[in-house]
Each structure stands twice: as C-alpha cells, then as structure tokens.
Chains A and B, each alone.
Chain A
C-alpha cells in the first residue's frame, strides 16, 4: 500500500527526511503486512459496526441528515509519554486558571479591578451571566468537564487553540474509537503500551458526586439532554448508560420549593447533581431565554439556593470566550504566578483599534472567527477566500468589531489517513478531556479529529471531519 509522505506542515508519522518517527515504526511494519483487500474488508466491517450500534451524530439544517455516522480513520494517532506530560501539565495549569478566573469574576472581580483584562470586554459577553454574580458553586468548582482543543504548528509545537468550558462533546467517540479499532485491527495493539481510557465514565461519575451539595453516600446524579434531536444525543445517552444514571430531558424535571425533582412512575424523586448538556441560555426559561422549551423553570433558583449542583456551573462559558482566550497568558501569570506551559495562537481582537487595523490590512493571511460561535460556523479562512468574500466579511466585522477575533493561519500537523487504498496526509487536531473533581485529571488520550477533505483545515464533524483513535503511551522504565 502506498504512503504519501509530505503534507506541507509537520507530519506526525514521517520526519523531515521522510523516515518514520521512532514511535510509529512498529505500527508501520504491522500495516505493511496488510493487502489493500484486507484493509478494505476491515473498513467495511467497521462501518457496519458503527451503523448497527447507532453511533451517530446529527448535522443541523440537513433534511436527510438526522443521523450520520462520524467517520472513523483506523490509523491511530500516537503520542509519546514525554510529549503527553507537557500537554497534561499545561492543561492542568490552564484549567486551574480558568476556574480561579471564574470564581473571581463572579465574586470580587479583582482581575478586572487590577486591569488584567478590560472589564467591559468580559462583562459585555453574552456568556457572562450577571444573574449569578455572588453565587459560589459547591467546592468552588465551575468547570467540572473541559475539552481543550490543541493543534501543532509547522515545527511540531503543541499550541492551545481554544478551551471549551460549557458542554464539550466528543468523549464518547474517544471511547468508542478505541473499541472499534480493537475490533477491526487487533494486530496494532501488541507492539505498544497504550494507556487505558475506559474508566472515563467512572471518573466522570466521581467528579459529579464530588460536586454534590448534600454530603452523603449516594447523591442522585442525572444527565440532562435536550433530547434525541440534539447533535450529541448519542453521547448523552452513552454517558448516562456508562455511568448507570438516568438520562433526563427538561420535561422530566420540575422544581418545587426550590428543589429539583424528577417525574417517576410512582412519584417524584429529588435530584442532587445535574450533568447538563444544555447551554446556559436554554437551562431555565425563568432566568435566561424565556422561549426555551428544553429547560426547567426554576432550575437556576434551585441552584442559587444551593439545592442542586450543575456541571458545568452556569456562567462558566464566559471563560472560553475567544477574546478572553487572548488574555489567558496574563491570567495564568496573575493567578498562579507562572509562565504558560503550553503556548497558544497569537490573537488579534476586533475591539482593539490597532488590532482591527491589522486585521483589515492582513485579512488574506488571517483566520477570523466570531467570539460566540463554535463548531466552525461563521468563520472566514482569509487565505482561501476570494477578494469579494473577504471584503464582504470585513464589512460585517466593522459593524460589530467586538464580536470578532483573528489569528494567523496555523499550518496544522498532518497524519496519514486511509483514502481508497493509499495513506494520505490529512490535517488533525486534538481535544483532550479534563475532569475537575477532588483533583484535576486529564484523560490520557482525547479526540483526534481529522479533516477528511484533501487540503482542508476544518476538522469539525459538522463540516465533514472524521476522527482517529488516540494513543498515549505509558512511560516504560528504562
């Protein structure tokens, strides 16, 4: 089978001279034993397994797209122990900072008074919930589950692209990808000390139990989902099943006397912890969006009264705002008095006059994003847009500059990916998952997303991306 070795940027498997990196050599020699027919037969097996188990996601706005399979590429991404150590330490530092920032922001707001970042930048964000000023969640934890997106530049340096402090999704695919790869290419595993990840649901449950306000042996934990039509419904159901807790929708819950109850066949039962996979705005029509049919009227009051824990805490989304991101290095320094362990991408803020002028003058080199959106929606890839598209986009930026940020286009690393009998370089990123309970734990692995279209930089599942199994190797004693 044929391998295409150059992708332009940093390639995960092949070094500059075209020889495989040490930690990929055993995998390549195993793969050499397979014919094209073997590989294609196993790929068919794998697709059947995905469809039959209903491992799907939903693409919005497509008629027949109610359920789609998330494409899986069987060539695993491998991360050596030393590289992982750097990532893990950097993530722990970031999550610690994000949480301290949120606790400060919703209480004394010292960071704003000390001018670490402009007050109006933070307070004007839709994700900042003034209704929750002064409310401290149990154990002072706001960000129980975070998914941070990491990319590698053309020199192979790991960079943080963004943090997701609201309802980061994808962890079910991390676990299912491992199962799937094990089923279709069992031969891969024998040569590697792959760190296990299947205890994630147990760790997640521990994290949620730790957040309970009512101390006691068995607080009631539930997963709150918008329902089967949500794009990540499979994951909600998967996590509920794996944790052995009820999956509820807004209509299953009600609030009485500031207690959250769930409607059961033989009466109502109190709920202590809600792992909510619904955005803040839809949580409670009495507090946030009044037209929300997904939420639970009175939920935020019950939370405010300390009668229920929400993970993540409402209002946490402001911490992953793309313009707050620009200030992360300063926040790390401010709260921890440390230098950032993981670098990030230079970011220009539309709200700053100089930055805006730079953005306008260099649009053909920049990626411009709206601060609020996720999933690759609403962005401009300057280098690939026509002059007309750029001009039109710039007009929108100028009308509301505070809503936009720009970053230089980072040449994402590539990874060989199976395409019709050959292995071709495709761009990838990495989303590790971090749990904040009695301590901060980083799942050794993560979701490696891959842009399946040749040359594409966009790895989002909603934009035609796929994923890979991600192996973090255990350090072997010398």
Chain B
C-alpha cells in the first residue's frame, strides 16, 4: 500500500489528465461545428457554446463577447484552452496533472513524467505566442491531444500495476464517466425536446456532434450502422457494455478499481455506492429509456458519483 498523499496525487493526476483530454476534444468538436453552422443558424452556434460553458466550469466572459456567435467562439476558445487562470481550461488542467505528477515522480516512470512534462511545456510555450489565427490554436489543441494520448499510452505501457496505478486509473475512470454524464445531462434536453424540428439535418448534426464530443461516433456506427436513431444512441451512450465512453462501462471501471483497492474481504462505502449504481445501469437500462426517465436518471448518476468521490477521499486520502 502507498502513502495517502501519493494516492491522492495520483488520483488527481488521473482526473486532470482525463479532464484535459475531454476539454481538448470538446473544444475541437464544438469549434468545428459552430464554425460550420454560424452562417446558417447563429442561435444554434451560440447554444453550443453556452452548453460547453455548462459542461465545463464556464468562464466569465467580457460583456462584448456575446455580441456575435463568432465573438463568443473566440472568447470561449481562448478561455477554455489557454487561459491559465480559468479552472476549466486545458492549460490549467494540464498544469494540475503535471504538478500532481511532479509531486510523486518516484511513483511514476520516467516515460510517463517526460511525456506529460513535454506536453505541458509545449502548450505553455505556444500560449506565449500570438494565437489570433484560429488554425494556430487548432493545431496547438491537436498537438496537446496527441501528447495526452501519448501520456496515457506511457501509463499503460510502463507503469507497474500496483496500488498507485490503481488510484491513477480510478481518477481517470471516474472523471471520464462523470464528464460523460454531465455532457449528456447538458445536451440531451435540447435534443429530446418534443417541439417541431424545422430542420432535420441540423438536428442530426447536433446528435452527431454529441457522439463526437464523447468520441463515440465511430464506435456507434460499428454497433448500429450509420443511421442515427435517438433511441439507439441513448442506449449506446448510457448502457452499452463495450464502448469505453458509456455510463455503464465507466461505472463498471470505477467499480473494478475500487474493489481492487479495497482491503481484502470488505465492501467499503465507496464500493457499495458504485456497486448499486452499476447494478441499475446493467439491469434497468431499458426501463429507464422506455419510461422517459433519462434526465432524472442522469441526475441520480451524477449525485451518486459525487458521493462515491467523497467516500473514497475520506476512506483513503485521510486528512
């Protein structure tokens, strides 16, 4: 077993690594979508940015930022990518991941630290340059995304599967499923709204964008084909057994890591919370969709994941 402080740092390193990857992906997807529809439907472009501000800690923007969808896009992209002071920004998350790693270097391998360190320094170096050209920012985000995936690869490839590794993966897995639930909770109300849909093509664009926000478009197609059926997409994103972004898969991962961390033969409080949630996802999925209770179920999931985080912090990180 390891020091509580080290476990705590590794858990947060995992959470911030995953969060940084999510921020990067969400920014790239949202920016692409809103650029394309800005001339067609400006209110949709604004709505997408507003939703992103609800999925991630939303920045407080200057008053003139909502003048146009374009101004909003520029301000949001800047705040969420390279604003070092904004706690939702990529730079902030990367720095936190790297600070946590730096405090527990002895628990990591050189490969893991160096990849993460380089990714952070590279982004920081670029933020010091002029980034008014949107393609520069896009390429910085793409490179950071690649660096983050390399870091995750280095973790998979080089770290011993000890207690430290389990806490790191626990943080990563919990962050991922939590963010998936938030994205669904924020974006589904507009997509499930019963009002008449004027432009069907736009509706599907938004669904496609939702899948891409959860890096699930290709995986969905492999399972259900190219037809975007709302019921299928819901089943896929919430209850699919195999796709790494589904709620069921994510909660299952959290459950596994918690069980492997728990003292032998004990079902600790975090285990019990997550175990029950997992059972609901496995056995009640169909009913939840049929009864139209998806949104309230998502609220329940978010609440339980929050409780699980509190319980595991209290059990393992002490004070």
The answer to whether B1 and A52 have CB atoms under 8 Å apart is no
The answer to whether A252 and B105 have CB atoms under 8 Å apart is no
Least CB distance, A215 to chain B, in whole angstroms? 25
A249 neighbours in B (Cβ, 8 Å): 5
Interface-central residue, B102, B110, B167, by most chain A CB under 10 Å = B102
The answer to whether B118 and A265 have CB atoms under 8 Å apart is no
> What secondary structure prevails in chain A residues at the interface with B?
mixed
The answer to whether A263 and B106 have CB atoms under 8 Å apart is no
B102 neighbours in A (Cβ, 8 Å): 54, 228
Closest Cβ neighbor of A263 among chain B residues: B4
Q: Does B2 have its Cβ within 8 Å of any Cβ on chain A?
A: yes
Least CB distance, B127 to chain A, in whole angstroms? 15
B6 neighbours in A (Cβ, 8 Å): 246
| Given A52-B118, A266-B263, CB of A252 within 8 Å of CB of B106 | no
Q: Does A406 have its Cβ within 8 Å of any Cβ on chain B?
A: no
The answer to whether A265 and B1 have CB atoms under 8 Å apart is yes
| Given A51-B121, A53-B117, CB of A266 within 8 Å of CB of B1 | yes
- A-facing mask of B171-200, CB < 8 A → 1, else 0? 000000000000000000000000000000
Q: Does A289 have its Cβ within 8 Å of any Cβ on chain B?
A: no
Q: Does A232 have its Cβ within 8 Å of any Cβ on chain B?
A: no
Closest Cβ neighbor of A241 among chain B residues: B106
| Given A52-B117, A53-B117, CB of A263 within 8 Å of CB of B3 | yes
Q: Does B134 have its Cβ within 8 Å of any Cβ on chain A?
A: no
Least CB distance, A414 to chain B, in whole angstroms? 34
Q: Does B113 have its Cβ within 8 Å of any Cβ on chain A?
A: yes
The answer to whether A264 and B3 have CB atoms under 8 Å apart is yes
| Given A52-B114, A54-B113, A54-B117, CB of A265 within 8 Å of CB of B105 | no
Q: Does B292 have its Cβ within 8 Å of any Cβ on chain A?
A: no
A127–B1 CA distance with the chains assembled, in angstroms: 37
The answer to whether B106 and A264 have CB atoms under 8 Å apart is no
The answer to whether A265 and B2 have CB atoms under 8 Å apart is yes
Interface size on B, residues (CB 8 A): 26
B2 neighbours in A (Cβ, 8 Å): 246, 264-265
Q: Does B225 have its Cβ within 8 Å of any Cβ on chain A?
A: no
State which of A51, A228, A262 has its C-beta within 8 Å of the C-beta of B3: A262
A282–B29 CA distance with the chains assembled, in angstroms: 51
| Given A237-B106, A246-B106, CB of A265 within 8 Å of CB of B117 | no
A49–B1 CA distance with the chains assembled, in angstroms: 33
A262–B3 CA distance with the chains assembled, in angstroms: 7
Q: Does A248 have its Cβ within 8 Å of any Cβ on chain B?
A: yes
Q: Does A240 have its Cβ within 8 Å of any Cβ on chain B?
A: yes
Q: Does A251 have its Cβ within 8 Å of any Cβ on chain B?
A: yes
Q: Does B163 have its Cβ within 8 Å of any Cβ on chain A?
A: yes
Q: Does A247 have its Cβ within 8 Å of any Cβ on chain B?
A: yes
Least CB distance, B313 to chain A, in whole angstroms? 11
State which of A227, A247, A265 has its C-beta within 8 Å of the C-beta of B261: A265
Q: Does B62 have its Cβ within 8 Å of any Cβ on chain A?
A: no
B4 neighbours in A (Cβ, 8 Å): 252, 263-265
Least CB distance, B135 to chain A, in whole angstroms? 26
Closest Cβ neighbor of B109 among chain A residues: A241
A263 neighbours in B (Cβ, 8 Å): 3-5, 318
Interface size on A, residues (CB 8 A): 23
A252 neighbours in B (Cβ, 8 Å): 3-5
Least CB distance, A46 to chain B, in whole angstroms? 15
A51–B6 CA distance with the chains assembled, in angstroms: 24
A248–B99 CA distance with the chains assembled, in angstroms: 16
Least CB distance, A457 to chain B, in whole angstroms? 34
State which of B3, B113, B316 has its C-beta within 8 Å of the C-beta of A246: B3
A238–B106 CA distance with the chains assembled, in angstroms: 7
Least CB distance, A218 to chain B, in whole angstroms? 16
The answer to whether B163 and A265 have CB atoms under 8 Å apart is yes
A248 neighbours in B (Cβ, 8 Å): 3, 5
The answer to whether B316 and A265 have CB atoms under 8 Å apart is yes
A180–B114 CA distance with the chains assembled, in angstroms: 15
Within 8 A of A (CB), among B24-54: none
A263–B316 CA distance with the chains assembled, in angstroms: 10
State which of B104, B121, B163, B261 has its C-beta within 8 Å of the C-beta of A52: B121
- B-facing mask of A15-55, CB < 8 A → 1, else 0? 00000000000000000000000000000000000011110
Interface-central residue, B5, B103, B118, B316, by most chain A CB under 10 Å = B5
| Given A53-B114, A54-B113, CB of A265 within 8 Å of CB of B7 | yes
Within 8 A of A (CB), among B90-140: 99, 102-106, 110, 113-114, 117-118, 121
A265 neighbours in B (Cβ, 8 Å): 1-4, 7, 163, 167, 261, 316-317
- B-facing mask of A259-296, CB < 8 A → 1, else 0? 00011111101000000000000000000000000000
Within 8 A of A (CB), among B126-175: 163, 167
Closest Cβ neighbor of B262 among chain A residues: A266
Least CB distance, B194 to chain A, in whole angstroms? 49
Closest Cβ neighbor of A51 among chain B residues: B121
| Given A263-B3, A264-B3, CB of A228 within 8 Å of CB of B121 | no
Interface-central residue, B4, B261, B316, by most chain A CB under 10 Å = B4
The answer to whether B5 and A237 have CB atoms under 8 Å apart is no
A84–B103 CA distance with the chains assembled, in angstroms: 37
A240–B6 CA distance with the chains assembled, in angstroms: 13
A101–B105 CA distance with the chains assembled, in angstroms: 38
The answer to whether A264 and B1 have CB atoms under 8 Å apart is yes
Least CB distance, A5 to chain B, in whole angstroms? 39
A227 neighbours in B (Cβ, 8 Å): 103
- A-facing mask of B301-319, CB < 8 A → 1, else 0? 0000000000000001110
Least CB distance, A336 to chain B, in whole angstroms? 39
Closest Cβ neighbor of A249 among chain B residues: B5
Closest Cβ neighbor of A228 among chain B residues: B103
Within 8 A of B (CB), among A212-267: 227-228, 237-238, 240-241, 246-249, 251-252, 262-267
Closest Cβ neighbor of B98 among chain A residues: A54
Least CB distance, B271 to chain A, in whole angstroms? 14
Closest Cβ neighbor of B116 among chain A residues: A54
B104 neighbours in A (Cβ, 8 Å): 247
B121 neighbours in A (Cβ, 8 Å): 51-52
A54–B118 CA distance with the chains assembled, in angstroms: 9
Least CB distance, A95 to chain B, in whole angstroms? 28
State which of A238, A251, A269 has its C-beta within 8 Å of the C-beta of B5: A251
Question: With A264-B3, A264-B4 given, can you name 15 additional A-B contacts, CB distance below 8 Å?
Answer: A51-B121, A52-B114, A53-B114, A54-B113, A227-B103, A228-B103, A237-B105, A241-B105, A246-B3, A247-B106, A252-B5, A263-B3, A263-B318, A265-B4, A269-B1
* Residue positions of B touching A, CB distance < 8 A: 1-7, 99, 102-106, 110, 113-114, 117-118, 121, 163, 167, 261, 263, 316-318
Pull 26 A–B residue pairs with CB atoms less than 8 Å apart, ordered by A: A51-B121, A52-B114, A52-B117, A52-B121, A54-B113, A54-B117, A228-B103, A237-B106, A241-B105, A246-B2, A246-B3, A246-B106, A248-B3, A249-B5, A252-B3, A252-B4, A252-B5, A263-B4, A263-B318, A264-B3, A265-B1, A265-B2, A265-B163, A265-B261, A265-B316, A267-B1
Of all A-B residue pairs in the complex, the 3 with the closest CB atoms, nearest first, are A241-B106, A240-B106, A265-B316
